C-alpha cells in the first residue's frame, strides 16, 4: 500500500515509525473485524490513514486509523456525543488500534469551495449544534492552554526565534488571561477549519475530524478565523473575525485573543515553521 505523502512527516519520530510499522497488520485486522471492502487511501492525510470502505450491507463508510497523538485522542468520544447531529456518525471503534469506522459524506465537497460569506452562513448554522455540555473524558481548554504557555518559549528558541519576541510575549499574556476567565464550558473543536466541514446527502454540511476540548464558545471559531482556506489576507481574517463574532453572539476581543494565542502555539511543528500562521498573528495584533 502506498501511504499518502502527508504521512511522511511522522517518519521523523520514533513513535511515528512504530505506528507505521504496525499499520499494515492493524489495517488487516480492522478490515477482517468489520468485514470491509476498502478502496485506496484518501490523499489528504496528515494525522491518520483514512480509506473509503463498504460494509457487507453496502453502507459506505470511512475507515480511519489515527496517528496516536494527544489532539485526536477523544475524537471518537466527540462523535459519539454528537451522534450525527451536525457531525459525521461514528459507526464503530477499536480503542486498542485507535481505529474509527465513520459515516462517509457524499458528495464530500469541502466548505471552502463556497464563497467566504456563504461558507460563514453555513458555519453559523452548524456550530451552535456542536456546543454540547461536556466533561470527562475531554481535555479542558485551560489545561491545554497551560501546556502551550509552558512549551512556546522553548519551541521558539529551538526553532531559532523565527518571529519577533513581541508576538510571543503578547500571545502568552493573552492566553494566561483568557484561560482563567472563561465563560460556560462546552464541547469545542480546535481544528474546525473550512476543510473539515463537508457536504453530505444526510445534511447539507457535516463536521469531520474533530480535535475536541471543553472550553468557552469563543475558542471554537479560531480555526475558521485564521484558516487560509477561505482567504489569506488581513481583510479576510478580520472579516471572518467580525462576522463570526457578531452572528454567533461571541465576544470579539476574546475570539481575537484566542486566535492570536492558539495560532502562535500551532505555528511551529518540530523543524517546520508555518509562516502564514505567524502572519495572522501579526495582522490581528497590529489591527489597531
Q: Which residues are catalytic?
A: 191
User: How many residues can be counted in the chain?
Assistant: 288
- Grouping H, G, I as helix, E, B as strand and the rest as coil, residue 41 is coil
Cβ neighbours of residue 44 closer than 8 Å, sequence gap 6 or more = 4, 6, 195
CA 151, 157, 159, 161 dihedral sign is positive
- Grouping H, G, I as helix, E, B as strand and the rest as coil, residue 172 is helix
Assigned C-alpha cell, 202: 444526510
Cβ neighbours of residue 75 closer than 8 Å, sequence gap 6 or more = 66, 100, 209, 210, 211, 212
CA 231, 234, 237, 240 dihedral sign is negative
Assigned C-alpha cell, 170: 503578547
Alpha helices in 115-204 (DSSP H): 116-130, 141-158, 165-179
Q: How many CA atoms lie within 13 A of 30 on its CB side?
A: 28
9, 94, 100, 101: which is closest to 56 by C-alpha? 101
**Whose grid coordinates read 471503534?**
93
Report how far apart, in Å, the C-alpha atoms of 220 and of each of 13, 21, 185 are. Answer: 30, 35, 11
Cα–Cα distance, 267 to 285 (Å, whole number): 15
Amino acid at each position: 500500500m502506498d501511504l499518502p505523502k502527508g504521512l511522511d512527516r511522522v517518519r521523523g519520530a520514533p513513535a511515528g515509525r512504530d505506528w507505521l510499522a504496525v499499520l499494515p497488520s492493524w489495517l488487516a485486522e480492522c478490515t477482517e473485524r468489520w468485514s470491509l471492502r476498502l478502496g485506496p487511501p484518501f490523499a489528504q492525510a496528515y494525522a491518520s490513514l483514512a480509506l473509503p470502505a463498504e460494509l457487507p450491507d453496502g453502507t459506505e463508510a470511512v475507515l480511519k486509523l489515527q496517528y496516536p497523538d494527544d489532539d485526536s485522542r477523544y475524537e471518537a468520544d466527540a462523535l459519539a456525543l454528537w451522534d450525527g447531529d451536525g457531525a459525521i456518525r461514528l459507526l464503530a471503534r477499536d480503542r486498542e488500534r485507535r481505529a474509527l469506522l465513520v459515516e462517509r459524506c457524499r458528495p464530500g465537497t469541502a466548505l471552502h469551495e463556497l464563497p467566504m460569506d456563504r461558507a460563514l452562513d453555513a458555519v453559523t448554522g452548524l456550530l451552535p449544534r456542536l456546543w454540547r455540555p461536556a466533561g470527562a473524558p475531554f481535555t479542558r481548554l485551560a489545561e491545554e492552554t497551560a501546556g502551550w504557555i509552558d512549551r512556546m518559549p522553548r519551541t521558539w528558541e529551538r526553532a531559532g526565534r523565527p518571529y519577533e519576541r513581541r508576538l510571543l510575549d503578547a500571545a502568552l499574556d493573552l492566553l494566561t488571561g483568557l484561560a482563567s476567565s472563561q465563560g460556560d464550558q462546552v464541547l469545542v473543536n480546535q481544528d474546525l477549519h473550512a476543510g473539515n466541514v463537508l457536504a453530505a446527502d444526510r445534511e447539507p454540511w457535516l463536521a469531520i475530524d474533530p480535535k475536541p476540548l471543553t472550553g468557552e464558545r469563543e475558542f471554537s471559531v479560531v480555526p475558521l478565523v485564521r484558516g487560509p482556506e477561505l482567504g489569506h489576507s488581513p481583510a479576510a481574517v478580520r472579516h471572518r473575525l467580525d462576522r463570526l463574532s457578531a452572528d454567533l453572539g461571541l465576544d470579539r476581543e476574546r475570539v481575537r485573543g484566542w486566535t492570536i494565542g492558539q495560532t502562535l502555539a500551532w505555528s511551529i511543528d518540530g523543524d517546520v515553521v508555518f509562516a502564514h500562521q505567524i502572519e495572522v498573528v501579526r495582522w490581528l495584533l497590529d489591527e489597531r
